[in-house]
Structure 1
Amino acid sequence: MAQIRGWCKGGREQFIWVGLVRGTRAALDVVGRLFFPPVCLGCRNLVAAPGTLCSSCWKSLRFIEQPWCPVYGTPFEHEMHDGHLSAEAIANPPPFDSARSAVSYTSIAQHLVRGLKFGDRTDLAPWMARWMHRVGEDQFGENAVIVPIPLHRSRYLKRRFNQSAELGRALASISGLQFAPQILIRKRMTRQQVGLKASQRLKNVQGAFAVPDEAKASLVGRSVVLVDDVYTTGATAFSASRALKRGGAGTVHVLTFARVLPEDFAMEDRELI
């Protein structure tokens, strides 16, 4: 009986302790919301929960949905049969195996990307990565490793962080995959791609990436999820994918938050990134 009473007492104390912990967390949450209320990721207006968009910003966010080209990930206007390739995939097969992007590079997406990249808004990365994870789940094999597009060390010292690495780290946390930024390096300084034409972008990053010798053993045969913030013309993804394949990668799947779709290039007021 004494042993039974001890168990009951211990269980009651544990129950009380759990209740106190939960009550304290709830109280702290209320206080936190009072002094630091959640705001929209886009316009910073008040919203109901952290990491969300207000109704106005949400309406302007264009998600890229199927049907899409299985190689380039560009959406089709009409339903296509399984395995149907876009004209671009047939005429210009890329060095990567697939590309996926969460949203079109339109108003609110452009604002989020620029906030992360140029506004030191690293707090945006975990939320942006959630949308990327949703669209890129078919790329996350058991043997996959997440590799961000690297910055040259001089630019990294100036900017203090790599936006692609922030997205990649958040994706690794969500997916449980290995985050391996050391697998790919930018071996030479390149011009910023902003304002360059497609041919200039391709030439700018040609031969800019490499897999260090010490990383090749861990890369051989692996599936790589190559992470970047925006897919514009594909120049960076092409160059980095070729370097990864030369370094021994089995497959390379490009995953970005935003994508500049073909019709976006015709919009004169759109400043490409």
Structure 2
Amino acid sequence: MGMQAAVQLVYPPQCLSCDALVTTDFGLCARCWRDTPFIAGLVCDCCGTPLPGEEGGAPVQCDDCLTIARPWGRGRAVMLYRDNARRLVMAFKHGDRLDLARPGAQWLHRAAVPLLQPDTLLAPVPLHWLRLFRRRYNQSALLAAGLARLADLPHCPDLLVRRRNTRSQEGRDREGRFRNMEDAIRVNDKRRWQVEGRPVLLVDDVMTSGATLGACADACLAAGAARVDVVVLARVAKDG
């Protein structure tokens, strides 16, 4: 403790999002915390989108999840993909801010508590090898690894394989996003034995339409997974 205190005197902890000083490592200052739309209260049991009303014990779903047949069972999200949450995700994803993996995993752990069953296998949404080569890391794999450590559950970073280099989902409508992901994901043949008969929790950074997570869940179920749930750092949700 003495050494840690000495280090903090020389290198005082700073906000994850700005240069303001904070009291603990990997924290947000008061202003950035207010600007980060963490999700709390009643949420869609399928995707984690916040819903109006109070928690009543019975699971409820948002309009999107009532309209679209989701291949996974339950889902949770840490924050809405806007304001400071968007800035944090973009810095983590494209700005080499690997230090954000640790607090991101801690936030995921709190959100994913209802989904963490014994023997659950955690797996990230995969990148195609070309994109992984350019980016040098898979942000979803870093989050999944951190969550697995906190939850003391097994993690399989290469459970899923992106069999073709799908083009970016940005700018596509919902139908285009789902079409772009058709037959794009499969279970790694060398890891198939790990998924058979057990629950799988998929981890990703952002959910928009759910097309990518849906393709991953379909692949896991086709390989014999007992069930599939999902947890994401940020959820794109409609205003209002």
- The residue that corresponds to 1:231 in the other structure is 207
| Change over 3 Å in CA distance of 1:193–1:89 after alignment to 2 | closer
Retained in 1: the 8 A contact 2:126–2:138?
Answer: yes
- Given the alignment of the two structures, is residue 118 of structure 1 paired with residue 118 of structure 2, yes or no? no
- Given the alignment of the two structures, is residue 180 of structure 1 paired with residue 180 of structure 2, yes or no? no
- Given the alignment of the two structures, is residue 65 of structure 1 paired with residue 43 of structure 2, yes or no? no
- The residue that corresponds to 2:146 in the other structure is 170
| Change over 3 Å in CA distance of 1:189–1:77 after alignment to 2 | same
Moved more, 181-190 or 78-87: 78-87
| Cα drift, residue 80 of structure 1 | 5.9
Q: Give the Cα separation in 2 of the matches to 1:253 and 1:184.
A: 15
Q: Give the Cα separation in 1 of the matches to 2:23 and 2:188.
A: 46
| Cα drift, residue 96 of structure 1 | 0.6
| Cα drift, residue 66 of structure 1 | 2.7
- The residue that corresponds to 1:14 in the other structure is none
Of structures 1 and 2, the larger Rg is shown by: 1
- The residue that corresponds to 2:133 in the other structure is 157
Q: Secondary structure at the match of 1:93?
A: coil
- The residue that corresponds to 1:83 in the other structure is 59
Q: Give the Cα separation in 1 of the matches to 2:169 and 2:11.
A: 37
- The residue that corresponds to 1:101 in the other structure is 77
From 13, 29, 33, the equivalent of 2:8 is 33
| Cα drift, residue 87 of structure 1 | 3.2
Q: Give the Cα separation in 1 of the matches to 2:31 and 2:55.
A: 32
Q: Give the Cα separation in 1 of the matches to 2:7 and 2:191.
A: 44
Q: Which ranges of structure 1 fall in alignment gaps of 5 or more residues?
A: 1-24, 265-273
Higher relative contact order (CA 8 A, sep 6+): 2
Q: Give the Cα separation in 2 of the matches to 1:228 and 1:85.
A: 20
Equivalenced residue count is 239
| Cα drift, residue 90 of structure 1 | 2.8
Q: Secondary structure at the match of 1:182?
A: coil
What TM-score do you get using the length of structure 1 for normalisation? 0.83
Deviations 1:81-126 (A, max 9, x none): 4133333333222001111101111211111101110011111111
Letter in 1 for 2:49: T
- Given the alignment of the two structures, is residue 259 of structure 1 paired with residue 235 of structure 2, yes or no? yes
- Which structure is higher in helix share? 1
Q: Give the Cα separation in 2 of the matches to 1:80 and 1:86.
A: 14
Q: Secondary structure at the match of 2:239?
A: helix
Q: Give the Cα separation in 2 of the matches to 1:160 and 1:83.
A: 39
